[in-house]
Amino acid sequence: MSPEDILGFWYSDRVKPHWWNLYMPFMHAESREAQVRCCELFLHPTVSGQHDYAVMHHDIVDRFGRFPHRNAILGRESTPEEVEFLEQPGSSF
């Protein structure tokens, strides 16, 4: 489903009360553009409690260009900075 499809559909009464679940692909994308859009989407008053999580995801992708905790499972080599980040408490929320 494209972002345009989602935007045209998810505010409708047909998908309430779980329409915000359609935002999750934005939150879990390893794309800076998608992360920015996710933060914008989670400003909607009905999902404001999730905005903090959107920002946390955004900050990780903005810093590393990806989610370092996925590196092992995807066969990617972690950078020293990513390894240090992953050793910090709360790095994997």
pLDDT score, position 23: 85
Query: What are the structure tokens assigned to 84, written together?
Result: 């240090």
Q: Which of 48, 72, 58, 60 is nearest to 27 (CA)?
A: 58
Model pLDDT for residues 45-83, shown as the tens digit of each residue: 777 678 999 999 999 999 999 999 999 999 999 999 999
Q: Does the predicted TM-score (pTM) go above 0.95?
A: no
pLDDT score, position 54: 95
Q: Which of 20, 58, 53, 51 is nearest to 36 (CA)?
A: 58
DSSP code, position 92 = -
The CATH-assigned architecture of domain 3-86 is Alpha Horseshoe (1.25)
- Domain spans in the chain, listed from the N-terminal domain onward: 3-86
